[in-house]
Amino acid sequence: MSLPVRFLPEAQAEFDTAIDWHKDRGADLAKDFVARVQAVVKRIAATPKMHAAVHGDVRKAVLARFPYVVLYREDAGELIVISVFHTSRDPAEWQARVE
């Protein structure tokens, strides 16, 4: 059974911005990006402990093909997506959301 998923507003904004950036480079690229994020979120909702904790109880799932990670935690029976994070950015940006 999969956990319900909730994106923090900041994570949703990052995801939306990344989709727009990829759309500017091609509709197929954007579709692939969205599909890969959705697949990772579906997988971690089904098995949230499959990835190692990287900061307290926050876990990191790496996207294939794209330099992004999905940072998440399990809390009160739901999966909370903290960030859809480009790996070239400063991790302090998402870490501030969990402290």
DSSP 1-57: -PPPEEE-HHHHHHHHHHHHHHHHH-HHHHHHHHHHHHHHHHHHHH-GGGS-EEETT
DSSP string spanning 66-77? SSEEEEEEEETT
This prediction has a pTM of 0.93
pLDDT mean over 24-45? 97
> What is the arithmetic mean of pLDDT over 25-30?
96
Which range, of 12-16, 66-70, 93-97, averages the lowest pLDDT?
Answer: 93-97
Report the distance separating Cα 29 and Cα 45, nearest Å: 24
User: At residue 97, does pLDDT exceed 90?
Assistant: no
What pLDDT score was predicted for residue 99? 77
Q: Does pLDDT of 86 surpass 80?
A: yes
| Mean pLDDT score of the chain | 95
Give me the domain span that covers residue 82.
5-95
**What is the average pLDDT across 15-35?**
97
* Predicted confidence (pLDDT) at residue 1 exceeds the cutoff of 90: no
Domain count, the chain: 1
Please list the residues that pair with 68 across neighbouring strands. 86
* Residue 28's CATH number: 3.30.2310.20
pLDDT digits (tens, 9 = 90+) for 44-75: 999 999 999 999 999 999 999 999 999 999 99
